[in-house]
Amino acid sequence: MSATSEPGSRAPQSRTKGGPASATEVVLPAGRRYRLSGGSGFARPSAPATSRVAYAAAHVVADAGAENVPGAPAAVDWDTTLAFRRHLWSYGLGVAEAMDTAQRGMGLDYPATRELIRRSAAEARAVGGRIVAGVGTDQLPAGRATLSAVTAAYTEQLDDVRAAGARPVLMCSRHLAAAARGPEDYLRVYDKLLTAAEEPVVLHWLGPMFDPALTGYWGAVDLDLAADTVVELIKAHQSRVDGIKVSLLDADREVALRAGYRRGYVSTPVTTSTIPS
């Protein structure tokens, strides 16, 4: 976030132990200071990347003049939001749309999410950009839901993403985490979704360090047991799973998962963009 001031006034400074920080200096823990050197920018590539496919999970820009308050419908600055996506595509990145980083579950309601996916997918077609989009159950009211209601909510969003022309990302569901009684319930719900998928989808495993409501996802708090369920699911649907995004903030575990996939444990790529190192 940036602060603005009236002409002739002094820019605000952040005060911490050891004195105020300047506009080009950041005060780190224990009072250590880091001076920002600025950037020289990045050259736009002349052709798409060929070694791998990278997606940027872009944020959404709120309409600064609207009443974006808790409980009110989300008001999005569409021009700025879509301009940022065009900027990402111009650097050869794909866009992972309407993920948790787009404030889903934290202010972006499902009607706005559906419109975001529709508009972004249209922009992607116009510029030839890659796009995937999150599929969840956040149109359901907060609280418990039956497994059949969870499956129906997932299916509705899956249809919306397909209709928009984006590749689906099956996100973790707080409703499923609350309703499932064990690994079998997760496998049953995801089996129905993957069987109904008309093209390969991307799975998303978001750990409880990002959302405590997802504790015990895949039917186990023990991440090794949870990983066994994920592998079982993918092995049963390899032709319908394009990859998996793992967000566990555990470098060793995520590297081991990637190595296991490379050895042919299953053939699905593992994306691990949240390794702290």
244/254 Cα distance (integer angstroms): 11
* H-assigned helices in 9-109: 78-90
109 and 218 housed in the same domain:
yes
**Residue 254 forms part of a structural domain:** yes
Whether residue 19 is found in the same domain as residue 92: no
The pLDDT of residue 271 is 55
Per-residue pLDDT of the chain (277 residues), as tens digits, is: 333 333 343 333 444 444 555 567 888 888 888 888 877 778 888 877 778 888 999 999 999 888 888 878 899 999 999 999 999 999 999 999 999 888 887 789 999 999 999 999 999 999 999 999 999 999 999 999 999 999 999 999 999 999 999 999 999 999 999 999 999 999 999 999 999 998 999 999 999 999 999 999 999 999 989 988 998 998 899 899 998 888 888 888 877 777 655 444 444 454 544 434 3
Residues 36 and 81 occupy one common structural domain: no
pLDDT at 40: 73
> What is the spatial distance between Cα 259 and Cα 277, in angstroms, rounded to a whole number?
17
Q: Is 115 a member of any domain?
A: yes
34 with 69, same domain? no
Same domain? 18 vs 137: no
48 inside domain: no
The residues with which 27 forms a beta bridge, in sequence order, are 33
- pLDDT value at position 264? 44
d(CA 166, CA 183): 29
Report the pLDDT value the prediction gives residue 130, as an integer from 0 to 100.
95
Flag whether 191 is in a domain: yes
147 assigned to some structural domain? yes
**Domain span at 26:** 12-41
Task: Please give the Cα distance from 107 to 75 (Å, whole number).
Answer: 10
- Residue of 88, 91, 84, 94 whose CA lies nearest to 47: 91
Residues paired with residue 271 on neighbouring β-strands, in sequence order: 245
> What is the C-alpha separation between 274 and 210, in angstroms, rounded?
11
Say which residues have a Cβ less than 8 Å from residue 13's Cβ, sequence separation at least 6.
Answer: 20, 21, 22, 23
| 26 and 153 inside one domain | no
